[in-house]
Structure 1
Amino acid sequence: MKLKWLILFLFFSLQGFSQENGKLIWITIDGLRWQELFGGADSLLIGNKEFVSNPGGLAAEFWKDTKKERRETLFPFFWDVAVKEGIMLGNRWNKSKVDLTNTVVMSYAGYSEILTGYADDERIIDNSKIYNPNQTLPEVLNRDPEFKDKIGLFGSWDIFPYIFSEQRSALFINAGYRNSLRTEPSSAEILLGKIQQETPRRWETVRFDTFTHNFALEYLKTEKPRLLYIGYGETDDFAHEGRYDHYLKSARKNDDMIRELWEYVQRDPFYKDQTTFIITTDHGRGESATEKSTWKHHGPSIENSGQTWIVAFGKGISKEGEQSKERQYYTNQIAATVARILGFEYTGNGKAGKPLDVLSE
């Protein structure tokens, strides 16, 4: 019996396993509105032939009589598992509010705010490919021996290497149309890279989320990072194109992908019961109720497109479910929350928002 426990101890030590060391999966879904997350398919858009090629088919797939049924149809994992394992913030119909603090209301500014904990409206004014002058939380963590080379960053958008300032930060970043960057990629990564390069590109700067997701999942399995970031992107690009049908289908696919990640970490001894998920979006969109075309866009001129949401579940998160009380939160609070879950205090040189009050005691 003593020999058995000694073997187990040595095994987990070699794997870098520690019951005290938390792990976190940080996810963003680009431009996903809180209206769909908390209300499902929009009644003013799902039957509009300007935005939907087959209204009848889309309605058969996503339409239900109530918001509750519609959201459960669109996001079955969120509303079956995540809501029971943590907390969901941002349902403004319930007076739970989450907002950006940056006034640019574009993707680069939103991601920088999420990842650094503060807005920089003076230097980040659009989506230009400039290296972020601000240090993201992953960059800060990567200087700590406990996290050095234990961080993996994946994104569908090819500007993520600039947001994470890869030249300065030396972080592992697989984004855009990059194949595996590992020295010895697995057979799955090699095949995935081959398929990615052979697949016609709908957008030159954003790859399909299936490549981002599967590269990230394979990295999770092989490298066992303590912090994994995934930036899904299809929802925003389909919305800009005015394809509400594809926007909904991509959102549902992202829900499936997050389920796959959750089910994997629940099976893996390195991650099981030691992993937290934090999910959000870089910005909102216009409201269909005001003008049908504004749902496609975001920015300082698009009213209410700075409205966002946050979902957190897993280790260390209070199991409050969908928040139904009046509260105001901000996107700039996420970085400090991630740091605290991982055992660090992070202030972003005094500029970052304070951690969210979503942690269990």
Structure 2
Amino acid sequence: MKHTLLLCLAVVVMLTAGLGASAQQTPPAKNLVIFVMDGYRWQELFQGADSALIFDGKYNHSDSAWTVGKYWAPTAEERRRKLMPFTWGTIVREGELFGNRNFGNNVNVVNKYWFSYPGRSEIFTGYFDSAVNSNDYPDNPNTNVLEYINGQPAFHGKIAVFASWDAVARIINRNRSGIFVNIYGEDVQGDHLTALQKEANTFQHLLPDVFGKGERLDAGTYPLAKSYLLANHPRILYIDLGDNDDFAHAGEYGDYLDAAHYADFMFKDIWAALQSDPFYKGQTDLLIFPDHGRGTGAEWTSHGARIAHSNETYFIAMGPGIPSKGEVKTPGQVYQQQYAQTIARLLGLHFTANHPIADPIKP
């Protein structure tokens, strides 16, 4: 009898513990906001301004004293906070940051090309297709996670993409997927646009084509995306930023740092908008990552298979269901192809396609 009572008690304890664990699990997010920072290095994210570049007049052509005063500090912790104050003030407190290789916490691309189209394709398909080997590649033949989610009744027609680079429309394959994708030169259309949307449409056409290759500055992309968020309440908003990569290729380190600083302000601004809207507040995750890394030293302006370190990236997440572990300092390995299933998992879904898909990132 005694043994029976002990056994019953043990079962009750285990069941209670199990129920408690289930009750403590955070339900999946209802919405996602995703930022891709094209070609922004983990070195600046985790260490701030690079002394080898910020003090080199070759890469700091504008007002170097102003740039140094704005972003330089004696320690990496001070520099990164000056560069990205919201990331290192709020996200580090409420979310997770993977990829500081100084602690052996590594994030890498899987594709062997280490540039933009293959990088984004890997991110959103969860799969490395060796045939996707050019930035001029046509419409992506592989199913992406946004396309899969758009096929779910609760999300259909509620996904929007705003990109500074026009190739994103091919990467997401808007012709097949039917996802709303806005790129360089395109106005948001509709009979009931808000005043903010009309102003954002106009503003983008007042910006210079700085790089002479038909890419929209992020200052034009972001207002279009935010005004759409406020007016249409998409369940998923993906904002693709391009300034960091473009300024790096141009060898303009001061402008590259500014682009990161302004992107951080966008993170802060969109997060404030989410928390002030009952549709999003407490129900929306924020994800931030690049498509590839880039070289170091004199090779910082470039990336690709021949440029060492340009396969090194990072992953940032904050919101419901995201552990508040801050900067992850334990050794580990995350791969970029894991992002697609992670995106689906955060929404309580399981991404399937006619190609292999990597497992999600473990918390």
Matches within 5 A, 1:38-187: 38-53=46-61, 54-121=63-130, 123-187=131-195
Q: CA deviation at 1:195?
A: 2.3
Amino acid at match of 2:310: S
Matches within 5 A, 1:343-358: 343-349=348-354, 351-358=356-363
Per-residue CA deviation, residues 195-239 of structure 1 (Å, 9 max, x unaligned), is: 222332113331110111111111111111111111011000000
Retained in 2: the 8 A contact 1:159–1:176?
no
Q: Does 1:260 align with 2:269?
A: yes
Larger radius of gyration: 2
Q: CA deviation at 1:350?
A: 5.5
- Percent of pairs with identical residues: 38
Q: CA deviation at 1:347?
A: 4.2
Retained in 2: the 8 A contact 1:117–1:348?
no
Matches within 5 A, 1:244-259: 244-259=253-268
Alignment equivalent of 2:33, drawn from 1, 4, 25 = 25
Give the equivalent residue in structure 2 for 1:320. 325
Helix, strand or coil for the counterpart of 2:54? coil
Q: Does 1:36 align with 2:44?
A: yes
Give the equivalent residue in structure 2 for 1:218. 227
Task: Count the aligned residue pairs.
Answer: 335
Amino acid at match of 1:295: W
Retained in 2: the 8 A contact 1:29–1:282?
yes
CA distance in 2, matches of 1:43, 1:272: 39
Query: If the length of structure 1 is used for normalisation, what is the TM-score?
Result: 0.90
Give the equivalent residue in structure 2 for 1:14. none
Helix, strand or coil for the counterpart of 2:181? strand
Give the equivalent residue in structure 2 for 1:272. 281
Which segments of 5 or more consecutive residues in structure 2 lack a partner in the other structure?
1-26
Retained in 1: the 8 A contact 2:207–2:220?
no
Which segments of 5 or more consecutive residues in structure 1 lack a partner in the other structure?
1-18
Give the equivalent residue in structure 2 for 1:12. none
Matches within 5 A, 1:227-242: 227-242=236-251
Distance change in 2, residues 1:116/1:181 (3 Å):
farther
Q: Does 1:342 align with 2:342?
A: no
CA RMSD of aligned residues (A): 1.3
Retained in 1: the 8 A contact 2:200–2:227?
no
CA distance in 2, matches of 1:133, 1:35: 33
CA distance in 2, matches of 1:319, 1:51: 37
CA distance in 1, matches of 2:310, 2:269: 30
Distance change in 2, residues 1:20/1:307 (3 Å):
closer
CA distance in 1, matches of 2:181, 2:355: 27
Helix, strand or coil for the counterpart of 2:53? coil
Q: CA deviation at 1:129?
A: 4.7
Retained in 2: the 8 A contact 1:150–1:227?
yes
Helix, strand or coil for the counterpart of 1:296? coil
Give the equivalent residue in structure 2 for 1:202. 210
Distance change in 2, residues 1:342/1:183 (3 Å):
farther
Give the equivalent residue in structure 2 for 1:6. none
Retained in 2: the 8 A contact 1:118–1:348?
no
